[in-house]
């Protein structure tokens, strides 16, 4: 890396409360996080710690209660094509074909331009030959590839990944992790991943932010200075993993 | 193989059992009384020979088609809007829910007052179409609104995220996402419309299957009354089957049902 990258996402003292019949429930209690341009950051934490809510706030889907939330120096008020969200169980549209899904955000381009961008991104995720297929005809991993292609086609510069591999089987999950690592390297997008899988976070991210439940904030950020592709059997990898589990107070042995 | 034969035979067995019960319950009746299955069959023959059956079927189907199509044309967009915007729902859902339980037949005096003197293909066609429209409209609007309210958040957010809004959002995301449930609503509504058209044709109309039933009763031909009822049932079954096949084709394409 040459020189310091500018800050892409800045979160400072972020609070989020949900109003319920029994009163306000606080979900985020003073979250601080900084993501640099082109960086891959993972947020890990136990379920119910608010990490998905945090991602939904950063993506502009949910309003924050107080605190600073800036992307490229501007406050986030609504979702944008510049920053695309990849959903837990694929958010691609089952009523559209693969190409129609990939080109969905390109409605303001000419047909010719759109076809070119669609073809390029279908190729990037390795789905040539499936352009006319409906999602129902694809496997779970292939659907996830369609969603990545759709997110990349609009020339976004940030990808939000909300446990994108949660619904896949163990083998496909491994394959898709390699795939996202490859796409990230090839495109240089800023990636923010939310997962409860510490190993997944360490395999993919430059830095891993660890979130706790009480208080619901980022309690620790771990730098992952390991060369890629990463090996989960590498002692240095295991040491980082043990460190995070110890920090969260999780017993590792079954 | 044997189980397949059984599966195909069972519905016929059920119908045969029903006809047997019908036969036993009407044993010895003449055709001026509640007719049995055999007399009804003869009545059906007479009905066909009279040469008005087809005309009456067309009249009923025509009224249902117009009323139902107009209701879908207005009800689906309105349902999409009510399901999508809480403000519109708070404003317009109460009147819809108050008008919905009123039997369309109760509107008959108003319908004849409004449309009774308008002549189209047949006098008072418009009044009947108006009743079918009412019967279908509230049902379609309500089922579409609830279909939209049940759309998965991730589809709505995906569209928002990709900058798709307004009319494009309504036609490319909202409508297709709600389509499976809308189709179920349309199928059930068509069943209601078919029930209502017969009732509507009992009064002040001179064509249609409802008129046919009434006309046969006035001539004390209860065999023809029952024959017309059988025809009404069979056409209702056909309409339902047609809607079901449309529904199934859509669900198969979406991968919700497996193609076989």
pLDDT at B120: 61
Q: Is residue B211 part of a domain?
A: yes
Residues 6+ apart with CB under 8 A from A168: A140, A141, A144, A176
Cβ within 8 Å, pair B155-A91? yes
Report the domain count for chain B.
1
ipTM of this complex: 0.89
- CB distance A27 to A16 below 8 Å: yes
- Please compute the mean of the pLDDT values over residues B219-235 and round it to a whole number: 94
Shortest Cα distance from B250 to chain A (angstroms)?
A: 9
pLDDT at B206: 85
Q: Which residues of B touch A102 (CB under 8 A)?
A: none
pLDDT at B23: 94
Search chain B and give the residue with CA nearest A56.
Answer: B157
pLDDT at B260: 46
The domain containing residue B201 runs over which residues? Answer: 33-253
- pLDDT over 60 at B258, yes or no: no
pLDDT at A251: 74
Which of the residue ranges A65-69, A169-173, B250-254 has the most confident prediction, judged by mean pLDDT?
A65-69
| Among the listed residues A165, A224, A178, A164, the one whose alpha carbon sits nearest the alpha carbon of residue A40 | A224
- pLDDT over 60 at A197, yes or no: yes
* Structural Rg of chain A based on CA atoms: 19
- pLDDT over 80 at B99, yes or no: yes
Cβ within 8 Å, pair A79-B154? no
Distance CA(A147)–CA(A245), nearest Å, equals 31
Shortest Cα distance from B154 to chain A (angstroms)?
A: 6
- pLDDT over 60 at B259, yes or no: no
- Please compute the mean of the pLDDT values over residues A87-100 and round it to a whole number: 90
SS3 A210: strand
Q: Is residue B125 part of a domain?
A: yes
CA distances from A29 to A15, A53, A86, A146, B222 (A): 5, 12, 25, 35, 78
| Among the listed residues A169, A201, A175, A218, the one whose alpha carbon sits nearest the alpha carbon of residue A29 | A218
Shortest Cα distance from B73 to chain A (angstroms)?
A: 21
Cβ within 8 Å, pair A93-B176? yes
- Please compute the mean of the pLDDT values over residues A71-77 and round it to a whole number: 93
- Please compute the mean of the pLDDT values over residues B163-187 and round it to a whole number: 94
Please, what is the Cα angle at B73 between B72 and B78, to 5 degrees?
Answer: 85
Confidence of residue B111 (pLDDT cuts 50, 70, 90): confident
| B45 in contact with A, Cβ within 8 Å | no
Q: Is residue B23 part of a domain?
A: no
- CB distance B213 to B198 below 8 Å: yes
| Kind plus residue range of the DSSP H or E element containing A200 | helix A198-204
Cβ within 8 Å, pair A94-B254? yes
B233-256, pLDDT tens digit by residue? 999 999 999 999 999 988 887 776
Shortest Cα distance from A253 to chain B (angstroms)?
A: 36
C-beta neighbour count of A74 within 10 angstroms:
8
B35-89, pLDDT tens digit by residue? 899 999 999 999 999 888 999 999 999 999 999 999 999 999 999 999 999 999 9
Among A61, A83, A95, select the one facing B157 at the smallest CB separation: A61
Shortest Cα distance from A198 to chain B (angstroms)?
A: 25
- pLDDT over 70 at A1, yes or no: no
- pLDDT over 60 at A2, yes or no: no
B114-143, pLDDT tens digit by residue? 886 666 655 558 888 999 999 999 999 999
- Please compute the mean of the pLDDT values over residues A34-63 and round it to a whole number: 93
Residue B176 or A3, more confident:
B176
Cβ within 8 Å, pair A136-B255? yes
Q: Is residue B178 part of a domain?
A: yes
pLDDT at B51: 87
Q: How many CA atoms, within 13 angstroms, populate the side-chain half-sphere of residue B73?
A: 7
Q: What is the mean pLDDT of chain A?
A: 91
Q: Is residue B28 part of a domain?
A: no
| Phi–psi pair at A90, nearest 5 degrees | -25, 130
SS3 A12: strand
Among A85, A93, A134, select the one facing B161 at the smallest CB separation: A85
Q: Which residues of B touch A87 (CB under 8 A)?
A: 154, 157-158
* Through-space distance between the first and last CA atoms of chain A, rounded to whole angstroms: 40
Q: Is residue B106 part of a domain?
A: yes
Which of B151, B156, B157, B162 is most worth mutating to test chain A (most A CB atoms within 10 A of its CB)? B162
| A57 in contact with B, Cβ within 8 Å | no
Cβ within 8 Å, pair A105-B162? yes
SS3 B175: helix
Confidence of residue B18 (pLDDT cuts 50, 70, 90): very high
**Ordered strands of the A66-71 beta sheet:** A23-36, A7-20, A66-71, A74-75
**Ordered strands of the A83-86 beta sheet:** A83-86, A158-162, A190-195, A40-44, A207-211, A218-223
Q: What CATH number does the domain containing B139 carry?
A: 1.10.3720.10
Distance CA(A50)–CA(A190), nearest Å, equals 21
Provide the CATH number for the domain formed by A1-76+195-254 in this structure.
Answer: 3.40.50.300
pLDDT at A3: 47
Q: What is the mean pLDDT of chain B?
A: 90
């Amino acid at each position: 890396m040459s020189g310091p990258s500018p800050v892409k996402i800045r979160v400072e003292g972020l609070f989020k409360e949900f109003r319920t019949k029994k009163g306000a429930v606080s979900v985020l209690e003073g979250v601080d996080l900084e993501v640099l341009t082109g960086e891959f950051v993972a947020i890990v934490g136990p379920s119910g710690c608010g990490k998905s809510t945090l991602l939904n706030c950063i993506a502009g889907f949910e309003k924050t209660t107080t605190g600073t939330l800036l992307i490229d120096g501007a406050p986030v008020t609504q979702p944008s094509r510049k920053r695309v969200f990849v959903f837990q169980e694929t958010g691609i549209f089952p009523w559209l074909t693969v190409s129609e899904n990939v080109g969905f955000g390109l409605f303001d381009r000419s047909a010719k331009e759109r076809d070119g961008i669609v073809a390029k991104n279908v190729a990037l995720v390795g789905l040539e030959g499936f352009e006319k297929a409906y999602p129902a005809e694809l496997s779970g991993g292939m659907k996830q590839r369609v969603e990545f292609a759709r997110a990349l086609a609009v020339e976004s510069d940030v990808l939000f990944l909300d446990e994108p591999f949660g619904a896949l089987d163990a083998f496909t999950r491994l394959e898709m992790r390699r795939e996202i690592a490859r796409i990230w390297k090839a495109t240089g997008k800023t990636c923010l991943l939310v997962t409860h899988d510490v190993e997944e976070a360490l395999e993919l991210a430059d830095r891993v932010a660890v979130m706790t439940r009480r208080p619901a904030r980022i309690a620790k950020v771990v730098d992952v200075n390991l060369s890629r592709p990463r090996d989960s059997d590498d002692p240095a990898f295991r040491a980082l993993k043990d460190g995070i589990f110890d920090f969260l107070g999780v017993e590792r042995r079954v | 193989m044997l189980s397949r034969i059984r599966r195909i035979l069972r519905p016929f067995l059920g119908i045969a059992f029903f006809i047997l019960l019908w036969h036993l319950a009407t044993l010895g009746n003449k055709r001026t009384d509640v007719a049995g299955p055999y007399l009804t069959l003869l009545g059906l023959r007479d009905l066909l020979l009279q040469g008005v059956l087809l005309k009456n079927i067309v009249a009923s189907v025509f009224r249902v088609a117009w009323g139902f199509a107009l209701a879908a044309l207005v009800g689906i967009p309105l349902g999409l809007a009510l399901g999508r915007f809480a403000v519109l729902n708070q404003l317009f859902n109460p009147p819809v829910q108050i008008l919905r339980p009123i039997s369309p037949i109760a509107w008959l005096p108003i319908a004849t007052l409004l449309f009774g003197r308008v002549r189209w293909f047949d006098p008072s066609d418009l009044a009947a179409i108006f009743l079918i429209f009412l019967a279908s409209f509230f049902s379609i609007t309500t089922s579409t609104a609830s279909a939209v309210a049940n759309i998965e958040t991730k589809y709505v957010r995906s569209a928002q995220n990709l900058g798709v809004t307004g009319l494009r959002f309504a036609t490319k995301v909202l409508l297709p996402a709600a389509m499976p449930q809308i189709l179920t609503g349309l199928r059930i509504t068509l069943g209601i419309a078919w029930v209502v058209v017969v009732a509507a044709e009992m009064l002040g109309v001179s064509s249609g299957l409802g008129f046919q039933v009434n006309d046969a009763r006035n001539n004390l031909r209860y065999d023809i009354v029952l024959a017309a009822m059988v025809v009404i049932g069979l056409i209702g079954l056909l309409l339902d089957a047609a809607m079901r096949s449309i529904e199934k084709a859509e669900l198969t394409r979406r991968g919700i049902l497996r193609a076989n």
